[in-house]
């Protein structure tokens, strides 16, 4: 059974009108009846009191002369009042002189001496004294029933009920006609909203039937529909435009609900997979993802759904012919005005050819790296011969050479040193991309101390002041970190201004990385060169004022990028420079392969075969390239043996390689030198060294 709240408004209006009318009439009729009853009771009291006085006055003589007959005749006049039940005249002693009883009634109310009119359950009792010369000689007792009051209430109640029925009927008829004034406009609105809801046609309009509040409501409703219609048309145009663009693009486009259920794939998807939309909608797309990529793909996609972060993933999709091709998929969340995700829009781009080219390029780079490594290693032999024999010529024939000969010999020796430096820096650059990445924490303060110790002579010569803050432990190879710090500090020492260098090293936490900085007060760098300076063999200064090969910063960049960091510079000419580089705060599980110099193939990382060459010029154990080859001392000894001549012995000295040149030093410095560049040279071969400041800005 429908409740009043759910019944139609037409019936509701009728019920409300009828209930209101009935209640009003019923209340009014009840008030009339109740008022008349109260008024009639008062009137009845006055009427019976007057009647009792008249009977009592007319009975005075009969009572005084004790004449029952006359008294009875007087009481007989009460027959004219049918509601008088009975009356009695009492003497003072309480005996009855005369009585009157209505037919079928019996008894008289007893006289109790009180003078009053009172209502009882039997009726109205009137006690009226009979006086003679103001002296009471008896009492008249009168009993009047309540039938007259009941008849009056019945009459008035029937009248009110009749009026109520007639009024209700009239109200029903009027409400049935007049309810349309309110119900019809509302029904029009209901029909319009129902039509819009069922058909989605926002061109529907409700008819305005009045100028009252309902008319205003209809106007506002129609205006709202017009606004919605306009926005719906705009949305349809944009949707059609999006669909046209999506179907026309070579990429595979998809959209998804906020919880990741895919609800649209463009035509390229269906053509590529050979499946229908019904087969791949929602999460059905997982069937054409390569099994090896599926778990990680779903996990990454779910993470983006939960966090709202953009989705990006490379995976393989099965083509209709069963072959898998690499794709790069991206998706971004579209949000509403409240910031809640309303949908995901994404694309998948075929990158299979790019992947193949990247692999081919990687192999080519490996081959090129192997070639550079092998070439620079093989170049050491002729450079060694040039250095050895130029030193022999300088020692033996110094006195017989004229000025031009000594000048030419100096050029030869200088060229040999520069070529050796260049080859050694090229080897250091190559090894920077092949060394093993350390996954244990390294105290960067201790590494800085080693670096400053290695640069102590340069710091003393330039009268530099080096300061540093407390440095953290980082997950970076000890040799790599020293390589970067030493190159940057040596750059600051080299590219100084007139004033003594002031260098400050610090490190601060910046999100998930440590950000190191090396700040100086040198000549500075023009901002337009801030990217170029990290290139290989790129130099800004080509005169002899600032030496170097232009590889130092390239080595720094290569090492830092191997650890997932980056390096950059902020500077202005004449205002010094600050080099920044970042190192991840957590260890990264990355191992870089090294090159097997004997086979040309990549092998698991570790120290390269010639990482610990013999200081006396002997070939490194396990160095297949050096095995059987004459080192500096052996070349010289073989030459002495072949010539049969007595040649002076080479000076006994220890030479170790740094990342930017050859530095002569005593055996006691071997531990510090060993850390420069990550390892010492593959072959310590010649007895010449130039004192240089490691590293160079281009």
Dihedrals phi, psi of 685, to nearest 5 degrees: -125, -35
Model pLDDT, residue 371:
67
Q: What is the pLDDT of residue 368?
A: 67
Inter-CA distances, 417 with 74, 117, 652, Å: 169, 150, 19
At 602, is the pLDDT very low, low, confident or very high (cuts 50, 70, 90)?
A: very low
Q: CA 579, CA 2: separation in Å to the nearest integer?
A: 81
The pLDDT, as a whole number, for residue 653 is 30
Question: Considering only 139-153, 436-450, 539-553, 623-637, which range has the smallest mean pLDDT?
Answer: 623-637
Cβ atoms within 10 Å of 224's Cβ, excluding its own: 11
CB-neighbour burial class of residue 436 (10 A; exposed 0-12, middle 13-18, buried 19+): middle
Tokens of 313: 């993933």
SS3 24: helix
- Residue 534's pLDDT is 79
Rg (CA), the chain: 60
Distance CA 156, CA 158 (A): 5
Pick the range with the lowest mean pLDDT from 175-184, 485-494, 508-517.
Answer: 175-184
Instruction: Please state, for a pLDDT cut of 70, what percent of the chain lies above it.
Output: 75
What is the average pLDDT value for the chain, to the nearest integer?
Answer: 76
Is 679 or 540 the better-scoring residue by pLDDT? Answer: 540
Least confident segment among 161-175, 196-210, 494-508, 622-636: 622-636
Tokens of 693: 């400041």
Q: At what angle do helices 478-494 and 444-454 cross, to 10 degrees?
A: 50
Q: What is the reported pLDDT for 133?
A: 86
Which pLDDT does position 436 carry in this prediction? 54
Instruction: Supply the pLDDT for residue 481.
Output: 87
Q: How confident is the model at residue 536 (pLDDT cuts 50, 70, 90)?
A: low
Lowest-pLDDT choice from 175-179, 276-280, 315-319: 175-179
pLDDT for 609 beyond 50: no
The CA–CA distances, whole Å, from 520 to 164, 364, 502, 578, 616 equal 107, 39, 6, 6, 39
Q: Which residue has the higher pLDDT, 376 or 100?
A: 100
- Which residue, 89, 111, 92, 91, is CA-closest to 100? 89
What confidence score (pLDDT) does residue 683 get? 33
Look at phi and psi of residue 282 and say left if phi exceeds 0, alpha if psi is from -120 to 50, else beta.
left
Is the torsion defined by CA of 613, 617, 621, 624 positive or negative?
positive
Cα–Cα distances (Å) from 101 to 44, 75, 157, 426, 473, in that order, read: 20, 9, 31, 150, 129
> Are 170 and 180 contacting, i.e. CB atoms less than 8 angstroms apart?
no
367 CB contacts (<8 Å, ≥6 apart)? Answer: none
Q: How far apart are the first and last CA of the chain?
A: 93
pTM for the model: 0.39
In the structure, what pLDDT confidence band is assigned to residue 310 with cuts at 50, 70 and 90? Answer: very high
Whether the predicted pLDDT of 56 surpasses 50: yes
C-alpha torsion sign, points 84, 88, 89, 92 = negative
How does residue 302 score in pLDDT terms, banded at 50, 70 and 90? very high
List, for residues 208-237, the tens digit of each pLDDT value.
Answer: 777 777 788 888 888 888 888 888 888 878
The confidence band for 375, taking pLDDT boundaries of 50, 70 and 90, is low
Tell me, what's the pLDDT at 290? 95
Question: Burial of 647 by CB count in 10 Å (0-12 exposed, 13-18 middle, 19+ buried)?
Answer: middle
Query: Which is more confidently placed, 684 or 199?
Result: 199
Kindly report the number of other CB atoms within 10 A of residue 60's CB atom.
17
State the pairing for strand pair 502-510/465-468. parallel
Q: Domains, the chain, ranges and CATH?
A: 1-199 (3.30.450.20), 249-350 (3.30.450.20)
Per-residue pLDDT, 191: 82
**Residue 548 pLDDT class (50, 70, 90 cuts):** low
- Please indicate whether residue 389 or residue 569 has the higher confidence score (pLDDT): 569
What is the C-alpha separation between 689 and 643, in angstroms, rounded?
A: 28
> Which long-range contacts link 445-450 to residues 24+ away (Cβ below 8 Å)?
445/470, 445/471, 447/478, 447/481, 447/482, 447/485, 448/485, 448/505, 450/482, 450/672, 450/675
SS (H, E, C) 367-412: HHHHHHHHHHHHHHHHHHHHHHHHHHHHHHCCCCCCHHHHHHHHHH
Predicted confidence (pLDDT) at residue 632 exceeds the cutoff of 50: no
- Reading the block at residue 555, the tokens are 């080595």
């Amino acid at each position: 059974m429908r409740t009043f709240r759910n019944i139609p408004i037409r019936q509701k209006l009728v019920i409300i009108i009828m209930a209101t009318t009935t209640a009003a009439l019923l209340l009014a009729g009840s008030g009339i009846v109740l008022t008349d009853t109260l008024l009639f009771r008062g009137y009845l009291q006055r009427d019976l009191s007057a009647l009792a006085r008249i009977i009592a006055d007319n009975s005075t003589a009969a009572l005084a002369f004790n004449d029952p007959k006359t008294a009875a005749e007087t009481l007989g006049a009460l027959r004219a009042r049918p509601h008088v039940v009975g009356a009695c005249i009492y003497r003072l002693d309480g005996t009855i002189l005369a009585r009157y009883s209505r037919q079928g009634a019996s008894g008289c109310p007893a006289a109790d001496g009180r003078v009053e009119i009172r209502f009882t359950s039997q009726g109205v009792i009137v006690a009226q004294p009979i006086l003679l010369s103001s002296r009471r000689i008896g009492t008249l007792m009168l009993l009047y029933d309540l039938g007259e009051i009941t008849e009056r209430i019945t009459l008035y109640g029937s009248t009110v009920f009749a009026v109520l029925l007639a009024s209700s009927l009239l109200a029903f008829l009027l409400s049935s006609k007049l309810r349309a004034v309110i119900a019809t406009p509302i029904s029009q609105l209901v029909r319009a909203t129902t039509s819009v809801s069922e058909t989605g046609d926002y061109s529907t309009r409700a008819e305005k039937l009045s100028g009252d509040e309902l008319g205003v409501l209809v106007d506002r409703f129609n205006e709202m529909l017009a606004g919605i219609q306009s926005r719906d048309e705009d949305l349809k145009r944009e949707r059609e435009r999006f669909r046209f663009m999506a179907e026309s693009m070579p990429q595979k486009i998809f959209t998804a609900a906020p919880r990741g259920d895919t609800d649209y794939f463009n035509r390229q998807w269906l053509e590529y997979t050979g499946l229908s939309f019904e087969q791949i909608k929602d999460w059905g797309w997982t069937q054409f993802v390569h099994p090896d990529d599926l778990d990680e793909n779903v996990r990454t996609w779910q993470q983006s759904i939960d966090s709202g972060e953009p989705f990006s993933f490379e995976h393989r999709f099965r083509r209709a012919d069963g072959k898998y091709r690499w794709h790069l998929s991206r998706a971004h969340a579209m949000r509403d005005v409240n910031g809640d995700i309303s949908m995901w829009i994404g694309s998948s781009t075929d990158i299979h050819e790019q992947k193949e080219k990247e692999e081919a390029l990687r192999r080519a780079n490996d081959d090129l790296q192997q070639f550079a490594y092998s070439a620079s290693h093989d170049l050491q032999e002729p450079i060694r011969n040039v250095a050895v024999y130029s030193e022999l010529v300088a020692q033996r024939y110094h006195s017989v050479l004229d000025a031009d000969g000594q000048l030419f010999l100096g050029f030869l020796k200088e060229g040999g040193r520069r070529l050796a430096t260049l080859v050694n820096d090229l080897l250091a650059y190559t090894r920077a991309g092949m060394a093993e990445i350390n996954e244990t924490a390294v105290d960067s303060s201790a590494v800085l101390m080693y670096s400053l110790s290695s640069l102590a002579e340069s710091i003393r010569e330039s009268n530099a002041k080096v300061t540093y803050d407390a440095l953290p432990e980082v997950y970076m190879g000890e040799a790599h970190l020293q390589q970067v710090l030493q190159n940057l500090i040596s750059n600051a020492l080299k590219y100084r201004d007139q004033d003594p260098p002031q260098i400050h090293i610090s490190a601060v936490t910046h999100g998930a990385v440590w950000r190191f900085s090396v700040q100086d007060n040198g000549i500075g760098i023009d901002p337009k060169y801030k990217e170029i300076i990290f290139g290989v063999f790129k130099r800004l200064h080509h005169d002899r004022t600032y030496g170097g090969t232009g590889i130092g910063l390239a080595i720094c960049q290569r090492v830092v990028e191997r650890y997932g960091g980056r390096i950059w510079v902020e500077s202005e000419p004449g205002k010094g420079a600050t080099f920044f580089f970042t190192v991840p705060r957590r260890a990264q599980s990355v191992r870089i392969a090294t090159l097997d110099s004997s086979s040309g193939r990549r092998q698991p990382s570790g120290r390269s075969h010639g990482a610990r060459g013999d200081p006396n010029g002997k070939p490194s154990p396990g160095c297949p390239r050096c095995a059987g080859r004459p080192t500096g001392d052996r070349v010289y000894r073989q030459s002495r043996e072949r010539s049969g001549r007595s040649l002076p012995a080479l000076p006994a000295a220890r030479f170790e390689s740094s990342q930017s040149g050859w530095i002569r030093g005593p055996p006691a410095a071997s531990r510090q030198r060993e850390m420069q560049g990550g390892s010492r040279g593959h072959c310590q071969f010649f007895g010449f060294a130039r004192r240089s400041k490691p590293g160079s800005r281009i």
